[in-house]
Amino acid sequence: MEKISQACNSQINMNPLDKRFLGKTGVKLPLLGFGGAPLGELFKKVTLFQVEETLNQAYDSGIRYFDTAPWYGHGLSEHRLGYMLRQKIRSEFILSSKVGRVYSPFKGDSTVFDGSPWIGGLPFQCCFDYSSEGLERSYIDSTLRLGLNQIDLLVIHDLDHGYHGKKVQQKLKELESGIEWLNKMKASGLIKGFGAGINDMQMMPVFMELFDLDFFLVAMPYTLLDQSPLEDILPACKKREIGIIIGSPYSSGILAAGSKYESTYGYAPPNHEILKKVKSIESICKEYDVPLKAASLQFPLFHPLVASVIPGVLEKEEVLENIQMIRHPIPAEFWLDLKNSGLLHPEAPVALSDE
């Protein structure tokens, strides 16, 4: 609290192109990256023209970290992102994709995917495979879809109770050989690091107990709405030199749209308590003339373990807005008011660290 008091007469300015080391990987990521899930047509169809406009705007604006996955549109996101990146100098950008799903052609109606959340996408269906053979097949297929022979960071995708239920322990056992393969890939220099994608916070200590990871890509939580990993999990990450990438700084939409518009929290309709909290945060934002999006993008970056935030982007205007939101000056008093109102964890970092 003392640090905040000393800074109360100042404004905090961030540069989205500044870089930070990601854990012990030696990789430096820009504060702002590009989340490729929307390119797979999760919420709505996206034309190729719109995709090209958006990706070119991101690259022309200086963004040099791009994240994708086979799951995003059943390969569509990787195809679209690869088309743009193949035209760039490979040493200029950092690329991450996911492993754990293996694809085969879909045999039914190509417009209907059983159990799939994607509105669009390609006519392929997946099965989970976290073994060494499964991860290698997933990685090779990704390089072919991308048209790039190097992926810098690999992320173990969706190994949690939400996807696997009672089979989580079985999948973790399967992953043991997969981790051996990932370590060999890293030792050979074919990848620069590997981590796990997190939807369920409770999986973070499980992964840390079983495996030596370089980073977590956290979809939920550690956002303006939820700082639950702060007390135990993030200190454990620090001890192990595990870096953090924030995959959904807008909490899947509500921190971008605000309380007045239909949106999602955790990829589902928000409940009354969440809406109430968003409205309370919006009230303080209005008092300080701080856009909700600016506060949402900047907040996770105050934590010294967080290397990058990678919001999903659909339009070129959103690229420019995200850059503007990270640059937007926010007075230190704003963060103090959020804490005093009980809207932020009292120990949440709200000043740029020298670490």
Predicted confidence at residue 59, as pLDDT, reads 98
Contact in structure between 171 and 130 (CB atoms under 8 Å)? yes
Higher pLDDT, 337 or 10: 337
Pick from 235, 190, 189, 244: which is nearest to 213 by CA?
A: 244
Predicted confidence at residue 215, as pLDDT, reads 98
Q: Is 39 helix (H, G, I), strand (E, B) or coil?
A: helix
Q: What is the pLDDT of residues 100-153, one digit of tens each?
A: 999 999 876 655 445 577 888 999 999 999 999 999 999 999 999 999 999 999
- Report whether pLDDT(314) > 50: yes
Per mean pLDDT, which range of 6-20, 68-82, 258-272, 326-340 is the poorest?
6-20
Higher pLDDT, 316 or 267: 316
Q: Which of 65, 98, 141, 293 is catalytic?
A: 98
Pick from 225, 217, 171: which is nearest to 198 by CA?
A: 217
- Class of domain 26-250+303-315 (CATH, top level): alpha beta
Q: Which of 65, 67, 130, 171 is catalytic?
A: 67
Contacts of 220 (CB under 8 A, 6+ apart): 198, 199, 200, 201, 226, 248, 251, 252, 266
Question: Taking the model in full, what pTM does it have?
Answer: 0.93
> Is 226 one of the annotated active-site residues of the chain?
no
Q: What is the pLDDT of residues 32-68, one digit of tens each?
A: 999 999 999 987 899 999 999 999 999 999 999 999 9
Percent of the chain at pLDDT above 90?
85
Predicted confidence at residue 253, as pLDDT, reads 87
What distance in Å separates the CA atoms of residue 193 and residue 174, rounded to the nearest whole number?
Answer: 20
Predicted confidence at residue 4, as pLDDT, reads 42
Average pLDDT over residues 256-260: 89
Predicted confidence at residue 109, as pLDDT, reads 60
Predicted confidence at residue 261, as pLDDT, reads 81
Q: What is the pLDDT of residues 281-308, one digit of tens each?
A: 999 999 999 999 999 999 999 999 999 9
Residue 198 CB-half CA count within 13 A: 25
Predicted confidence at residue 5, as pLDDT, reads 40
> Is 83 one of the annotated active-site residues of the chain?
no
DSSP for 251-273, please give it: GGGHHHH-TTS---BTTB---HH
Mean per-residue pLDDT of the chain: 93
Peptide bond into 221 cis (omega under 30): yes
Contact in structure between 220 and 266 (CB atoms under 8 Å)? yes
Q: Which of 59, 65, 72, 139 is catalytic?
A: 72
Average pLDDT over residues 334-351: 96
What distance in Å separates the CA atoms of residue 355 and residue 305, rounded to the nearest whole number?
Answer: 9
Residue 250 CB-half CA count within 13 A: 24
- Report whether pLDDT(10) > 80: no
Q: What is the pLDDT of residues 174-229, one digit of tens each?
A: 999 999 999 999 999 999 999 999 999 999 999 999 999 999 999 988 999 999 99
Domain boundaries, the chain: 26-250+303-315
> Is 152 one of the annotated active-site residues of the chain?
no
Predicted confidence at residue 354, as pLDDT, reads 58
- Report whether pLDDT(72) > 70: yes
Predicted confidence at residue 352, as pLDDT, reads 83
Using DSSP bridges, classify how beta strands 101-105 and 124-128 pair: parallel, antiparallel or unpaired. Answer: antiparallel
